[in-house]
Chain A
Amino acid sequence: MSKEIKYTEAFDELQQIVVDIEDGEITVDELSVKVKRASELIKICKEKLSATEEDVNLILKELEE
């Protein structure tokens, strides 16, 4: 499932978690769970960014050839 989430969605969820935590709307009890989720999301985003970068570089390289 995590593979199908979009970067944008992942990013938005991640940002929401950060905001929620900062606003103290998350109890200590939930916090661990949320942090875990956030970690996952960060990973996903980074992976997507890397993939995209590779992709783009490939395309642009072709153009220059």
Chain B
Amino acid sequence: MNLIVEREKQLLELERRIEELREANTHQPIDMSPEIRAFEQKYREIQREIFGSMTPWEKVHMARHPNRPTSADYIAQLQAFDELHGDRTFRDDPAIVGGFATLGERAVMVIGEQRGRDTKENVRRNFGMPSPEGYRKVARLAHLAGRFGVPIVTFVDTKGADPSAASEEHAQSEAIAACLYEFTIVPVPIVATVIGEGGSGGALALSIADRIVMLEHSYYSVASPEGCAAILWSDASKADEAAAHLKLTAQDLQQFGIVDEVIPEPLGGAHRDAAGTIACVLNAIQTALGQLVAMPPDRLREARYLKYRRIGAWESERREAVRTGS
């Protein structure tokens, strides 16, 4: 059960009522405009109340909203897309969608984690949880982008890597590790955008990047709130508490310097204005790429190295600052 979906229900009910009144008002003598305005007033209040300031746990549910735009929705807005398939070995993983595309005037390699828009598709795409074959496809496409010399644009949206016996037997660890390695060395710009769920290592595999963008109500966490609660307190129902502890919101991560830019969402979430949100995101990616493509590959890689080299917080902060400075 999705918290946000539940709360949207009362709003939808209210919307319906207002519509009815407007309708009625057109063909009856008494002007009910004041009452309607009151209703509309009420509507906005509730909306602000629900979405004005959301808790981390609410944001997690917003990130999981069934109508939230997925990678495919962003890719659909690109000028061209030639999807490439497979790990060259074993399988083409539908939980990963990637290929060459044109963003604005620019050739790019786009790679996204893809959940389903309905149950049937979710089954086919394993609810957006990539298998090792999927991550090997990611690493292959990233390497290919380097070969072609085109920037990499990724969309992160996964609960995490597929936790199945088959995935373990096919070396999930090795596959993710290979992705991280490739993203670290590939000599082209990388811009990653967290559009929904940023679940642990399965999300990191697509988001070692020169710029990381996040949607306002997406999350990115070292572990799923449920998993964290289960591990720390062996009680998954404490997920809301864990969500608060984990500092997983876009706002938290921007403070930590892990996320470079947060894209605001319309009141009520990205799905309330998918087209607008997607346009904002693609626009932000283009701007970031515009800055990055000017850099020589070596400087780009050096900057990427230092960016991650600096991440960390411990007592001997000063020593660290000195060290990375050198």
Are A and B a genuine interacting pair, yes or no? no
Seen from chain B, the residues whose Cβ lies within 8 Å of a Cβ on chain A are none
Seen from chain A, the residues whose Cβ lies within 8 Å of a Cβ on chain B are none
